Amino acid sequence: MYIIKKNKILTKELIIRNVKFLCFASYVQTETDVINFLKKYKNKKANHNAYAYVIGNRRENIYKTDNGETRHIAGKTILENIIDKNLTNIIVLVSRYFNPLYNLLEDWIKNGYATITRIILTSAQLEKINEQIKIGILLRPLNEVFLRELLDKNKINIVSRLIYRGDLIFTIIIDRNNSVLIELDNLIIKGIIYSYKILKN
């Protein structure tokens, strides 16, 4: 998974038959970042300000809006391009300005959103980040101390601890390539934990 360069606003413009698409993209890490970005770059003079954003190393927060465009013609198109580029912690805003003398067909409008988003994302400097996954671990309460020792040794925080039918379920978040997964496999072999699995967000 990748992020775009921080502290840099990307800007591109596309004109199709005198209809202007103005695109902005930025690194964001929180919804507050999103709000501040939109306050600065949404243009009230534009006919539509469609945007999409993805936040989190596991893409926990995804949002899109067509802002009055025909459904799925704008926000979904922007979001699909973000996902196709395997990006996170990013917002892409596309402002569209009508030409009163010429109305674009919906296919042309959708193509405009797709094209300008691809152009701006292709121009971005990317930085690879470690993808994170959420893991659920099932074990007997008597063996809790052994699992805690392993997690403490690897400096892994416990997100939640639940009791389920007399057993325990621990939830942790780790990098996908974390070697602790091998150690968890060994705990299964030793009978210290029953199993573990990757959980959905």
Regarding pTM above 0.85, the answer is no
CATH 3.30.70.120 at 132-199, yes or no = yes
**What CATH number is given for 2-128 in this structure?**
3.30.230.30
User: What is the SS3 string spanning the chain?
Assistant: CEEECCCCCEEEEEEECCEEEEEEEEECCCHHHHHHHHHHHCCCCCCEEEEEEEECCCCCEEEEECCCCCCCCCHHHHHHHHHHCCECCEEEEEEEECECCECCCHHHHHHHHHHHHHHHHHHCCEEECCCEEEEEEEECHHHHHHHHHHHHHCCCCEEEEEEECCEEEEEEEEECCCCHHHHHHHHHHCCCEEEEEEECC
> Residue 201: what pLDDT?
65
Give domain limits for the chain. Answer: 2-128, 132-199
Q: What is the pLDDT along the chain (201 residues), one digit of tens a residue?
A: 899 999 999 999 999 988 999 999 999 999 999 999 999 999 999 999 999 999 998 888 999 999 999 899 999 999 999 999 999 999 999 999 987 777 788 899 999 999 999 999 999 999 999 888 999 999 999 999 999 999 999 999 999 999 999 999 999 999 988 999 999 999 999 999 999 999 986
